[in-house]
Amino acid sequence: MRRGTFTIGNLQLSTASTGTGRTCLFLHGLCGEAGQPAEVFPHDCGWQCVTLECRGHGQSDCGDITNLSIRRFADDVAAFTASLDGPPPVIGGISMGAAIALRLAVTSPNSFCGLVLARPAWVDQPAPETLAPHRQIAACLAEHAPVEALRRFRDSASAKAVATESPDNLASLLGFFTRQPIDQTRALLATIGNDGPGVRRQDIAALAMPALIIGTDRDAVHPLAMAHELATLIPTSQFVQITSKSENKDSYVVEFRQALRRFLKEI
């Protein structure tokens, strides 16, 4: 993985890229980092996977924790996109990254040649109910030390419900309690958990660029119905359902790469 930096104001944001060829700007999820999109990106497909790690994520500076939002992250990615050479990239992302990509596709459609929304956690509305566990964890961390907050969350009804439906989601949720710095993690969960892409359904429906929507079942945070809804809204989209991480992580990665490869070759 090739590393670099992109400066915005007094902040250094980390960039990462793998592969060679045209640029697919592929964004990570909440509290994730560049390794997440790189893992599922197809190799030797004539495209490179480029990721700007959002403020407070990966190796990027965080800055003011009150200035964290999907809009802020999208503005950073827009500035980074403007600095790139070559033809317009594909914009895409996983989970929170998908929300950022959707916002950019709506607000700057001429800057991108395609859109990938993988395991989306939002359509157009903020604070979806599926992100209630993230908000619950933020509240626990605000009131208790991480060890006690973890115990209380693990014993909660919401944690037990997620464990039954999608064990992979639960593993990610429990990982938040040890993610450092803990104050940044708490701020991200609270702020982004209550946020949304800030776009209207009619603007999503007006998108004209080629789009790929990837969804899975057994995913409490990224419900399959949400991916179907976006695929129905975007008239130029194609929908692919792949094996969930809770079912088989290896199959998830292989099928994700296959879906991306097909889409990028069509572009």
What is the 3 state secondary structure string of 41-89? Answer: CCCCCCEEEEEECCCCCCCCCCCCHHHCCHHHHHHHHHHHHHCCCCCCC
Instruction: Tell me the β-bridge partners of 211.
Output: 115, 237
What are the residue boundaries of the structural domains of the chain, listed by start? Answer: 2-124+200-266, 129-190
pLDDT digits (tens, 9 = 90+) for 38-88: 999 998 899 999 999 999 999 999 999 999 999 999 999 999 999 999 999
Distance separating alpha carbons of residues 72 and 81, to the nearest angstrom: 14
Confidence of residue 20 (pLDDT cuts 50, 70, 90): very high
CA angle 221, 51, 205 (to 5 degrees): 55
Average pLDDT over residues 233-243: 98
At residue 169, φ and ψ (nearest 5 deg) are: -60, -45
At residue 27, φ and ψ (nearest 5 deg) are: -105, 150
Instruction: Tell me the β-bridge partners of 13.
Output: 6
In this model, does residue 199 exceed pLDDT 90? yes
What 3-state DSSP class applies to 93? strand
CATH number of this structure's domain 2-124+200-266: 3.40.50.1820
pTM for this model (two decimals): 0.98
Q: Give pLDDT, residue 44.
A: 87
Whole-angstrom Cα Rg for the chain: 17
Q: How far is CA 122 from CA 147, 159, 196, 232, 239, in A?
A: 30, 20, 7, 14, 16
What 3-state DSSP class applies to 179? coil
Q: Give pLDDT, residue 48.
A: 98
